[in-house]
Amino acid sequence: MRQLLGFLYSQISAAIFAALILALVLLSKWIWGAAESWGWAAPLSLARYDVLFLCALFIQMMFVIHGVETWEEVRVIAVFHLLGTFMELFKTHMGSWEYPEENFFRIAGVPLFSGFMYASVGSYIARAWRIYQFELIHFPAKIWNFLICSVIYFNFFFHHFGPDLRWGIFVIIAILYYRSRLSFLTSNGTRGRIPLLLIWFGFAALIYGAENIATHARIWIYPNQREQWHPVPLPKFGSWYLLMIISFMLVYLIHQGKTIHRALEREKSP
């Protein structure tokens, strides 16, 4: 029980930024929804996206001031914010999804708050990397990681103009990483290991669930959700899986000098 509670505490600690962002999303839906129903104009005079942006910025500043996040992790978050905002600009222009409300802090129809949603993913991985002292077992060479990330990011844009390459990318990922393991420090001081492909699957599942919550709160919506909310299409799970790989690799690039790599050890028979 102590180990379980310790594991849950460390997970909450790693995901604190993402959890606060999600809580703000749900709280904003309740406040603005209640105000609209009751005819209370005070919060409606403030754009919901702007309030979320300022709150996220304040949380980030407090984390740095009080040492909850290191400057190294802030660098990760900044990169995620920039890459995420750039993708948002393209995707909203192509009509993949939209932000239905107006606000002040935005670029070409994309609220600046959206970048913090990508940053929350980077924040979680960076903090988990530090808390669990990740080691990589049978991890491919750096050039292969760079190439697969480049192809994934390129395909997010290319599939709007040509064939979607994701199924071929899934096959290449399976070939490259099927032997890879992530070794992590447990609460009792021992080390456990999990297949890297399974780790990415679990992360993607969590984000897919959070996306359903965010679209239900109408932070952003897909074309089929304009009139009535529907669950996010399942193919989006595959997109999050690919984005999770990019996210993991970006954090790895920052930690690679301190990350231990080991060859896959043979399992000894009893």
pLDDT at 175: 95
> How large is the average pLDDT for residues 226-236?
89
Whether residue 161 is predicted with pLDDT greater than 90 in this model: the reply is yes
Whether residue 267 is predicted with pLDDT greater than 50 in this model: the reply is no
pLDDT band at 268 (very low <50, low <70, confident <90, very high): very low
pLDDT tens-digit series, residues 55-95: 999 998 898 888 877 787 788 778 888 888 899 999 999 99
pLDDT at 194: 87
- Tell me the C-alpha to C-alpha distance, in Å, between residue 30 and each of 37, 51, 54, 98, 114: 10, 14, 18, 21, 19
| Burial 231-260, CB ≥16 within 10 A → b, else e | ebeeebbbbbbbbbbbbbbbbbbbbeeebe
pLDDT, greater one: 5 or 13: 13
Show the DSSP H helices in the chain as ranges: 2-14, 16-38, 48-65, 71-93, 113-132, 142-158, 166-177, 196-216, 235-255
Q: What is the 3-state secondary structure (H, E, C) of 216-251?
A: HCCCCECHHHCCCCCCCCCHHHHHHHHHHHHHHHHH
Please identify which residue in the block is written with the tokens 């309030």.
Answer: 51
pLDDT at 245: 92
Query: Average pLDDT, whole number, for the chain?
Result: 84
pLDDT tens-digit series, residues 168-210: 999 999 999 999 998 888 777 788 888 999 889 988 888 899 8
pLDDT at 1: 62
pLDDT at 266: 46
> What angle separates helix 196-216 from helix 113-132, to the nearest 10 degrees?
150
Query: Can you give the pTM of this predicted structure?
Result: 0.83
